[in-house]
Amino acid sequence: MSKQISVIALTFGFIFLIIIFGCDNKASETTQNSKSNFNNNIERKVDSVLGLMHLNEKIGQLVQYSGKWNATGPSSSKNDQHKLNKLKKGEVGSMLNVVSVASVRETQRIVMEHSRLKIPLIFGYDVIHGYKTMFPIPLGETASWDLDIIKASAAIAAKESAASGVNWTFAPMIDVSRDARWGRVMEGAGEDPYLNTVVGVARIKGFQGDDLSQTNTIAACAKHFAGYGFAEAGRDYNTVNIGEYELHNTILPPFKAAAKAGVATFMNAFNDIDGIPATGHKVLQRDILKREWDWNGFVVSDWGSIGEMIAHGYAEDKRHATEIAMNAGSDMDMESYAYEAHLESLLKENKVTIHQIDDAVKRVLRLKFQLGLFDDPFKYCNEQREMDHVYTEEHLAISREVAKKSIVLLKNENKLLPISKDVKSIAVIGSLAHDKDSPLGNWRAKATYNSAVSLLEGVKNAIGENTKIHYAKGVDLTIPTLEAGANQFLYPLKFNTTDDSGIAEAVEVAKKSEVVLLAIGENAYQTGEGRSQTNIGFLGLQNDLLEAIYKVNKNIVVVLMNGRPMALSRVSEITPAILECWHLGSESGNAIADVLFGDYNPSGKLPVSFPHHVGQEPLYYNQKNTGRPYSNKHVTFSSYRDAPKSALYPFGFGLSYTVFKYDNLNFDKTEIDRNGRIKVSVEVSNKGDRDGEEVVQLYIRDLVGSLVRPIKELKGFEKIMLKSGETKTVSFTIDAKILQFYTASKKWEVEPGDFEIFVGGNSKTTLKSRITVIE
């Protein structure tokens, strides 16, 4: 019976479209029309639908509900019944957290069967680093510095999501993040504006593909607009205090690039910026995003952020918050129930305008047409695709490839790594070594609990029967407070600070092994939203475990599993080898084993600076010099008396099992005008006995400007493969796009003067030369 109803609803929907669009065949001839003509066709359709809508239906398109409710059975709460009634009236534009083909079809059916105009829903979900096949957390994946595989992982996430009924993800997060205490640092691309820009665009292209109407693509969302990564003290949701120039030069560039790349949606942020909540920030949303950047997608609030302007002390009540948000350009209300309650009365009182409401509705309708939902509201509801395209062997193989490229070798004294597969005995120690859940990371969408390949499993898969593998847990990191698989995100963690009973066994295991693999770090729920920490070291009894192992076996390879930069001073001091493995996703253990045993030569580079001590945070490479830069001869300089000023492991750093040498930095000219170009080349040689990949990085320094400029700024990179003994010449072009910044004149421009150009394997490179820009 339900199938018959769906067919009837679909038939009615097609008749509805024919009436509106007059059987315009041009709309389907997208391959024969230019992009502008295709957009014009969509705009005409959007206007036609808008002209048929009543005010309540318009407002409804700006409402998004969470779908954690029973769409098919009797309502269990007043709120559920409210949502159901609104769906039937066509007064909901989008649902989030409705996943699976069956759930999406049923929810869409309610709208298509009951509502007057039968405008289909968009279904959103937090697909952050995979849907069911998990890839490395975004911070870890960024460490690959490989834009092709980053794009590929997003494309697979999109394919699995779309096959499961979802057509909109709340990703990528492109907040520049400089503070390791902030829990959501794991969700982005680190501390650098340029790296966030190119990685963000790669993810957008992976999610959205070349055509949003295809059933293997989904709409992306650039978030959080803006400044969220600068939360004071690294505390989530906290206030942000930045100046206009910092906003334009550091925070906005990734968002501007996302808009230019055609990202479908933006999400505003929880924080206030200099006293104005981002959700109610007119300059950001209306003036910059929609007017200056001429972007035509829609802005969705973060969860409840419209209503949260009351707690900020910026709105008197939810009605006032609605007025502020609509006037500021926030188009869709996620779970604040503000727009549905107050937009109509505010319109009658002329506190918002019908033009603002119509503009917001048009932006939402535009995406629905781009997704092809008006042609077929159930196009994402195919059970066979859901069976065939989710969590496949092919996707797992690519997950392993991405994971191994995301691993960063931080230290390798005496060439302890790679470990020979002929080794007689290996100790694998640490609760994280046998953990099949933490490698999935936080924000794991629909990943199955405990489904990752653990480090211990990966080692066993890689090693033959002649090698004895001894495992010992050592210490539990946390005290279990919930059943396995429960939503840990909603509850605080309790760390084990008393039970050290397993350390003795770990010591005995270490004594009888040639090499120790010590897995320490953070579990999956120590980072993510609401997971800020003042301590970025090793919590629980992990330090005790490390010290005990070190006393009996110095051949320790520390396998770090974490979602943020960690304070590694003691670890770096006493252990010969450190492998940064992040939370690598479904194939974590196999990927780590690939690197440990030399089947893959590590090529990752840090997208964030690792401090000596948490007291250095926020820490980032592209600092300003100050009037009293570092000096080891004087006390009164800008540094610390109890710790170094610089990072323990700097941005862009990462070792290899081979050695790369940089020589012959050359320029085809050293003087240009503001619109000129200079070609820079450098020779990179592999001096070791293994083939390997190197990330060649280009940095600049503007020596004198109308504003104080950073000591270094990443402006380009190229990842190359070099065979043992091979030399390649790598070239970059320096032009106005690279040299410009948002100046004291409040515009983007190149200022004349001298620039230093650096090329090397990390942000500490000293290979440099100088160019001059003349008037």
CB 556 within 8 A of CB 531: no
pLDDT tens, position by position, 491-505: 788 999 999 999 999
Q: At residue 630, does pLDDT exceed 80?
A: no
Residue 433, class by beta-carbon neighbours within 10 Å (0-12 exposed, 13-18 middle, 19+ buried)?
A: buried
Q: At residue 36, does pLDDT exceed 70?
A: no
Least confident range of 3-7, 301-305, 697-701: 3-7
Q: Beta 692-702 vs 713-722: how paired, if at all?
A: antiparallel
Q: At residue 483, does pLDDT exceed 70?
A: yes
DSSP string over 580-591: E-----TTHHHH
Report residue 418's pLDDT band, with 50, 70 and 90 as the boundaries.
very high
Catalytic-role residue among 175, 192, 302, 333: 302
Give me the mean pLDDT over the 622-633 stretch: 84
Q: What pLDDT score was predicted for residue 486?
A: 72
User: How many whole angstroms from its chain centre is CA 106?
Assistant: 31
Phi, psi values for residue 766, rounded to 5°: -115, 0
**Residue 663 CB partners (closer than 8 Å, separation 6+):** 682, 683, 685
- Fold classification of 401-614 is Rossmann fold (3.40.50)
Q: At residue 360, does pLDDT exceed 80?
A: yes
Integer Cα distance of 660 and 640 in angstroms: 33
Q: At residue 16, does pLDDT exceed 80?
A: no
pLDDT tens, position by position, 665-695: 999 999 999 999 999 999 999 999 999 999 9
Q: At residue 242, does pLDDT exceed 80?
A: yes
Integer Cα distance of 691 and 315 in angstroms: 60
pLDDT tens, position by position, 267-302: 999 999 999 999 999 999 999 999 999 999 999 999
pLDDT tens, position by position, 543-584: 999 999 999 999 999 999 999 999 999 999 999 999 999 999
Using alpha carbons, list the distances in angstroms from residue 230 to 188, 212, 434: 13, 32, 35
Report residue 488's pLDDT band, with 50, 70 and 90 as the boundaries.
low
DSSP string over 313-346: TS-SSHHHHHHHHHHHT--BEES---HHHHHHHH
Q: Where, residue-wise, is CATH 2.60.40.10 in the chain?
A: 660-774
Report residue 3's pLDDT band, with 50, 70 and 90 as the boundaries.
very low
Name the CATH architecture for the domain at 660-774. Sandwich (2.60)
Q: At residue 599, does pLDDT exceed 50?
A: yes
Integer Cα distance of 679 and 734 in angstroms: 6
Integer Cα distance of 730 and 456 in angstroms: 40
| Proportion of the chain above pLDDT 90, given as a percent | 89
Q: Where, residue-wise, is CATH 3.40.50.1700 in the chain?
A: 401-614
Q: What pLDDT score was predicted for residue 14?
A: 41
Integer Cα distance of 23 and 465 in angstroms: 69
User: How many whole angstroms from its chain centre is CA 673?
Assistant: 37
Q: At residue 33, does pLDDT exceed 50?
A: no
CB 426 within 8 A of CB 468: yes
Task: Report the candidate in 609, 303, 594 with the shortest Cα–Cα distance to residue 421.
Answer: 594
Q: What pLDDT score was predicted for residue 39?
A: 81
Q: What pLDDT score was predicted for residue 71?
A: 54
Phi, psi values for residue 27, rounded to 5°: -65, -30
Query: Angle formed by the axes of helices 455-462 and 588-596, to 10°?
Result: 50
CB 574 within 8 A of CB 582: no
pLDDT tens, position by position, 293-327: 999 999 999 999 999 999 999 999 999 999 999 99
Task: Report the candidate in 640, 571, 642 with the shortest Cα–Cα distance to residue 610.
Answer: 571
Q: At residue 187, does pLDDT exceed 60?
A: yes
Give me the mean pLDDT over the 740-765 stretch: 98
**Residue 544 CB partners (closer than 8 Å, separation 6+):** 475, 500, 503
Q: What pLDDT score was predicted for residue 492?
A: 82
Using alpha carbons, list the distances in angstroms from residue 529 to 181, 189, 443, 489, 522: 12, 15, 9, 8, 15
Q: At residue 2, does pLDDT exceed 50?
A: no
DSSP 641: S
Report residue 635's pLDDT band, with 50, 70 and 90 as the boundaries.
confident
Is 80 assigned a catalytic role? no
Q: What pLDDT score was predicted for residue 238?
A: 98
Q: What pLDDT score was predicted for residue 325?
A: 98
Q: What pLDDT score was predicted for residue 284?
A: 98
Q: What pLDDT score was predicted for residue 77?
A: 65
